[in-house]
C-alpha cells in the first residue's frame, strides 16, 4: 500500500484503536492482524491484482481486518449489507465477479448455498489469517480499492468503484474540516456497506488515531450509558437515530434524560447526515442538548461534498458549503452554470474525492459526467453562500401547476404539525396539475388527522400551490437500511 495511507494504523502505537464488545485492540494489534490476513489472502501470489473479495460481516474487529487486509493485498474490497436478504446479494456478487466471500458464524450458514451456486469460495477471517505476516505489495494510489453499491431505488444497483487516491482524499478532507484528533472517541453503529459508516467514522477515526467503538446495531441502553460516562466526544448519526433517542427519552426517568443530554452537551461535535435533517429536529436537539447539529451532504460516488462549518455558523435546513479540495457548481436544465444565488439547479462535483467508475458499466459512467463534472442528480439552491437541498431531481422536485416545488421543503413544514410523526411528499401524476402534491403520513400514537383539517392548518404556513392535494395515512413509511424513505415504493400505492 502507498506509504501515506492510514499512517496512524501502521504506526507502533499502544493507543486503543477499536473497542469490540468487552475487548479492546491497540493500533499495534490491529495492524498485525491486518498484515496476517493480507498475507493469508495472497497465498502464493505477490499481489491480488484487483481481485474482487466480498465480506458479509457486521461492525467488529473482523470487519476492520477484512477491509484493510484486502486493500493491503491489492484487492478490491466489497463490503455487503448484513441486513440484506441473501437473495438480494446475487446481483452484487455476479456483477462484480466476486471470487471469495469472507463471513463467519451464522452468516456463513446463510451464504453457503449462494456461494456454491456462484462458485465463490466461502471463508472466515480465521480461515485466512496466516501464522506470520509476510512482505506485502506496494499499491499505487490510482489502483481500485473499494466497490460500494448504490441503493438501486430507481434502477438496478451499480457498483461504485473508488481508488486508494479517492479514499485518501475523502478521509483527509474530513480530518481537517471536522478537526479529528487522536483524542477523539466515537461509537460506530451505522451500516458498514455505506460511505457514512466506512469513511466518515471508521476510516477517519483510524487515520486520526482515535478510538472507534464498534456496535453491530444501535444499542440504545449501552450507548446512552457510555454517553453519560463521557466515553465519546464525537457522535455521528442519521436523523432517524436522533428521533429514536428523543422517543427513548419519553420512556425513561427525567433525571436520566438530563444526564444523557448533559453527556451530549459535553461532546465536541454531533453530526447528522445520509438523509435530510428536518429543521424541527435540528431545533429540538439543540434545545435538549445545546448541540448545534452539523449537517453535511454526500453520496456514495463522492464521499462528502458539502458541509456546514466546524467553526462558524451551522444553519438549520442547509448542508453548508463545498469542503476543501471539492469544487461544486449548480447547473440548469440546459447544462449552463448558474451564477446567481436563489436560483435552483443540479449540484455537480469535481475533485479527487469523486469515484473512478461504475463497475463494468461504461455507459452509466459516461452518462454521469458532463465536462468533467459528476452530475449528482440532486437539486439545490444557494442562499447567502449556503447550499439548501431541494431534493432529487427525479423524486423530490414536483412540477405542479407550472411551479417547481421542493418536496423536502413541504415535508419540513408538515413535520411541525403536532399529530405528524413522519411524512414523505411526492408528486403523483394528475390530469389537472401535472403532478399533484401528495403527502404520505405516519401519525404519532393515538393521533388523528383528516385531509380537510390538514389543509386548513397549512393555510398561512405555505403557499396555496404547495399545500397537499391528497394525503394517505400509513402505519409507517418504508425505509432503507440508512433510514431514508423509499419514495418509489410509496409511489406504487397510486
| pLDDT for 494 beyond 80 | no
| pLDDT for 377 beyond 80 | yes
The reply to whether 298 and 419 lie within a common domain is no
Q: What is the pLDDT of residue 482?
A: 64
The whole-model pTM stands at 0.86
Cβ–Cβ under 8 Å, residues 289 and 307:
no
CATH number at residue 465: 3.30.300.30
Contacts of 318 (CB under 8 A, 6+ apart): 295, 308, 383, 386, 387, 388
The reply to whether 355 and 233 lie within a common domain is yes
Contacts of 255 (CB under 8 A, 6+ apart): none
Q: Tens of pLDDT along 295-347?
A: 999 999 999 999 999 999 999 999 999 999 999 999 998 999 998 888 899 99
Confidence at 3, pLDDT banded by 50, 70, 90: very low
The reply to whether 248 and 266 lie within a common domain is yes
In a domain, 43, yes or no: no
Q: What is the pLDDT of residue 406?
A: 82
Q: Tens of pLDDT along 41-56?
A: 999 999 999 999 999 9
Among residues 150, 94, 144, 83, which one has the least CA distance to residue 118? 94
Q: Any idea what the Cα angle at residue 478 is, between residues 472 and 481, rounded to 5°?
A: 160
Total number of domains constituting the chain: 2
Q: What is the pLDDT of residue 84?
A: 79
| pLDDT for 86 beyond 80 | no
**Cα first-last separation, the chain:** 52
Confidence at 5, pLDDT banded by 50, 70, 90: confident
CATH number at residue 338: 3.40.50.12780
The reply to whether 385 and 400 lie within a common domain is no
| pLDDT for 394 beyond 90 | no
The reply to whether 316 and 385 lie within a common domain is yes
The DSSP line for 315-370 is -TT--BEEPTT-EEEEE-TTSPBP-STT--EEEEEESTTS--EETT-HHHHHHHEE
Q: How many helices (H) and strands (E) does the chain have?
A: 16, 26
Q: Tens of pLDDT along 160-219?
A: 999 999 999 999 999 999 999 999 999 999 999 999 999 999 999 999 999 999 999 999
User: Quick one: what percent of the chain has pLDDT higher than 70?
Assistant: 98
Cβ–Cβ under 8 Å, residues 373 and 348:
yes
10 Å Cβ neighbour count for 311? 7
In a domain, 29, yes or no: no
Q: What ranges in 74-188 are assigned the alpha helix state H?
A: 86-96, 106-117, 125-128, 164-177
Contacts of 351 (CB under 8 A, 6+ apart): 169, 302, 305, 325, 326, 327
The reply to whether 293 and 436 lie within a common domain is no
Cβ–Cβ under 8 Å, residues 341 and 384:
yes
Residues of the domain holding 477: 395-491
Q: Tens of pLDDT along 109-158?
A: 999 999 999 999 999 999 999 999 999 999 999 999 999 998 754 567 89
The least confident of 95-104, 243-252, 371-380, 429-438 is 429-438
Query: 464 or 196: which carries more pLDDT confidence?
Result: 196
Mean pLDDT over each residue of the chain, to the nearest integer: 93
Q: What is the pLDDT of residue 376?
A: 96
In a domain, 68, yes or no: no
- Of 391, 418, 443, the one marking the end of a domain is 391
In a domain, 366, yes or no: yes
In a domain, 226, yes or no: yes
Among residues 59, 51, 46, which one has the least CA distance to residue 20? 59
Q: Is 432 helix (H, G, I), strand (E, B) or coil?
A: coil
Measure the CA–CA gap between 11 and 207, rounded to whole angstroms.
11
Q: Tens of pLDDT along 293-306?
A: 999 999 999 999 99
The reply to whether 366 and 432 lie within a common domain is no
Backbone angles phi, psi at 243, to 5 degrees: -65, -45
Amino acid at each position: 500500500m502507498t506509504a501515506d495511507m492510514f499512517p496512524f494504523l501502521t504506526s507502533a502505537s499502544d493507543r486503543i484503536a477499536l473497542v469490540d464488545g468487552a475487548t479492546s485492540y491497540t493500533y499495534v494489534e490491529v495492524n498485525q492482524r491486518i498484515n496476517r490476513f493480507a498475507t493469508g489472502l495472497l497465498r502464493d501470489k505477490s499481489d491480488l491484482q484487483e481481485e474482487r473479495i466480498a465480506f458479509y460481516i457486521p461492525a467488529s474487529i473482523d470487519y476492520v481486518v477484512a477491509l484493510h487486509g484486502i486493500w493491503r493485498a491489492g484487492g478490491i474490497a466489497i463490503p455487503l449489507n448484513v441486513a440484506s436478504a441473501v437473495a438480494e446479494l446475487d446481483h452484487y456478487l455476479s456483477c462484480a465477479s466476486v471470487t471469495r466471500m469472507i463471513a463467519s458464524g451464522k452468516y456463513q450458514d446463510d451464504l453457503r448455498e449462494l456461494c456454491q451456486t456462484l462458485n465463490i469460495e466461502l471463508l472466515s477471517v480465521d480461515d485466512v489469517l496466516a501464522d506470520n505476516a509476510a512482505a506485502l505489495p506496494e499499491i499505487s494510489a490510482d489502483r481500485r480499492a473499494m466497490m460500494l453499491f448504490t441503493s438501486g431505488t430507481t434502477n438496478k444497483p451499480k457498483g461504485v468503484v473508488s481508488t486508494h487516491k479517492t479514499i485518501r482524499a475523502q478521509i483527509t478532507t474530513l480530518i481537517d474540516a471536522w478537526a479529528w484528533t487522536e483524542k477523539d472517541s466515537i461509537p460506530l453503529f451505522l451500516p458498514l456497506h455505506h460511505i457514512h459508516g466506512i469513511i466518515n467514522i471508521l476510516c477517519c477515526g483510524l487515520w486520526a488515531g482515535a478510538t472507534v467503538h464498534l456496535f453491530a446495531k444501535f444499542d440504545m441502553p449501552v450507548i446512552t450509558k457510555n454517553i453519560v460516562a463521557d466515553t465519546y466526544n464525537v457522535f455521528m448519526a442519521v436523523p432517524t437515530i436522533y428521533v429514536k433517542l428523543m422517543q427513548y427519552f419519553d420512556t425513561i426517568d427525567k433525571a436520566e434524560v438530563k444526564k444523557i443530554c448533559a453527556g451530549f452537551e459535553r461532546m465536541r461535535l454531533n453530526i447528522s447526515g445520509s438523509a435530510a435533517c428536518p429543521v424541527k429536529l435540528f431545533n429540538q436537539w439543540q434545545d435538549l442538548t445545546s448541540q448545534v447539529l452539523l449537517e453535511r451532504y454526500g453520496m456514495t460516488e463522492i464521499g462528502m461534498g458539502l458541509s456546514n462549518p466546524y467553526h462558524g455558523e451551522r444553519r438549520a435546513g442547509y448542508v453548508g458549503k463545498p469542503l476543501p479540495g471539492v469544487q461544486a457548481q449548480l447547473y440548469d436544465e440546459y447544462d449552463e452554470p448558474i451564477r446567481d444565488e436563489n436560483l435552483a439547479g443540479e449540484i455537480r462535483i469535481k475533485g479527487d474525492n469523486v469515484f473512478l467508475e461504475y463497475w463494468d458499466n461504461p455507459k452509466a459512467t459516461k452518462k454521469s459526467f458532463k465536462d468533467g463534472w459528476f452530475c449528482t442528480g440532486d437539486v439545490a439552491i444557494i442562499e447567502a453562500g449556503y447550499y439548501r437541498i431541494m431534493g432529487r431531481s427525479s423524486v423530490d422536485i414536483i412540477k405542479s401547476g407550472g411551479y417547481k416545488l421542493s418536496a423536502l421543503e413541504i415535508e419540513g413544514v408538515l413535520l411541525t404539525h403536532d399529530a405528524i410523526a413522519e411524512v414523505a411528499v411526492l408528486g403523483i401524476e394528475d390530469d389537472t396539475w401535472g403532478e399533484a402534491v401528495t403527502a404520505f403520513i405516519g401519525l404519532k400514537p393515538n393521533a388523528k388527522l383528516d385531509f380537510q383539517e390538514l389543509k386548513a392548518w397549512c393555510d398561512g404556513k405555505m403557499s396555496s400551490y404547495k399545500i397537499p392535494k391528497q394525503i394517505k395515512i400509513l402505519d409507517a413509511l418504508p425505509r432503507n437500511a440508512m433510514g431514508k424513505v423509499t419514495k418509489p415504493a410509496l409511489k406504487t400505492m397510486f
